[in-house]
Amino acid sequence: MYYGFDVGGTKIEFGAFDTTLTRVATERVFTPREDYEQFIEVIAELVGKYDAILECTGMVGLGLPGIEQADDGVLLTANIPCVNGRCLRQYLGKRLNRPVRLENDANCFVLSEAWDDSIRNSPSVMGLILGTGLGGGLVYHGEVFSGRNQVAGEVGHMRMPIDAWFLLGDNPPLLSCGCGKQGCLENYISGRGFEILYEHRHGEAKNAVDIIQDYQAGDATAVTFVDFFMELLAICLGNIFTACDPHIVVLGGGLANFEQLYQELPRRIPRYLLPIARCPEIRKAKYGTSGGVRGAAFLNLKP
């Protein structure tokens, strides 16, 4: 049995999956954000409870918004203060008397999609979350590829390419990122970036839903802006795909619900790839909010 924990700043979602990858149990509890021992106890109680109910010793995986340092296992996360700076995986493994897998929540999102029956045999799957920021992750042959420093797939902190700066024009917004740099992709081609750039170019603050509705209604300003944004996104994704060369790309986050992406991007991206390269298949994420807990559980799967 595979246990997954999708750990967020307000709630922890638990899921148990059998060997056919069917979900057989679900539970949600509040996240003890400030009390480390209580946090550990919440996880331990859920594991013990479902070990007894399901008559097994479940394999445990955690997905959360953070990065585990490669050299010492210390977890870095801003959303859950009580586990920040702790060796959570090792401590929890001793408490549960079993190995524990831990990954960034974006990697869990991708892993969940990569184990879908329709693409399970694909050699490489990239996931991109176009939400408040730009999250990303890579799965090769059914397993998360985290890289030497656990930051593989963190494409949101790549810099805007020169073609993108030219497209932004003579007065591009120089946006600072939470990582301390300027020009990070996530500030421009995320859902939030979509709104920021609209206001910068057209002098009016609107949320993404309203901009898209205006576009669908044929509003000239929205149509012009969406055409610009699609080209900007294609330029940036062309750079990313050249570096990573995925077979399949899965899009999640709020902006991924804009269906026009799936017509426009395959048409535009090839201009920004090497001549011998083909654009990967781009599809919308299938599992939505359940992807995090699925992916966390699937950290223990072996292809």
Stretch 246-271: mean pLDDT: 97
Residue 13's DSSP bridge partners are: 6, 28
Q: Which residues are annotated as a binding site for Zn(2+)?
A: 157, 177, 179, 184
Contact (CB, 8 A) for 301 and 2: yes
**Percent of the chain scored above 70 by pLDDT?**
100
Residue spans in the chain of domains classed CATH 3.30.420.40: 2-111+289-298, 122-284
pLDDT for position 79: 85
Dihedral angle of Cα 221, 211, 109, 232, to the nearest 10 degrees: 10
Going by pLDDT thresholds of 50, 70 and 90, the confidence category of residue 234 is very high
Residue 9's CB is within 10 A of a number of other CB atoms, namely: 13
Q: Which tokens sit at 63?
A: 């997905």
pLDDT for position 178: 84
Q: Which residues are annotated as a binding site?
A: 4-11, 133-140, 157, 177, 179, 184
pLDDT for position 228: 98
Distance CA 266, CA 102 (A): 34
Distance CA 298, CA 29 (A): 21
Q: What is the mean pLDDT of the chain?
A: 95
The CATH T-level fold of domain 2-111+289-298 is Nucleotidyltransferase; domain 5 (3.30.420)
pLDDT for position 179: 86
Q: Which residues are annotated as a binding site for ATP?
A: 4-11, 133-140
Contact (CB, 8 A) for 201 and 228: yes
* Domain range 122-284, its CATH number among 3.40.50.2300, 3.30.420.40, 3.60.70.12, 3.20.20.10: 3.30.420.40
Question: Is residue 174 classed exposed, middle or buried when 0-12, 13-18 and 19+ CB atoms within 10 A define those classes?
Answer: exposed
**Percent of the chain scored above 90 by pLDDT?**
91
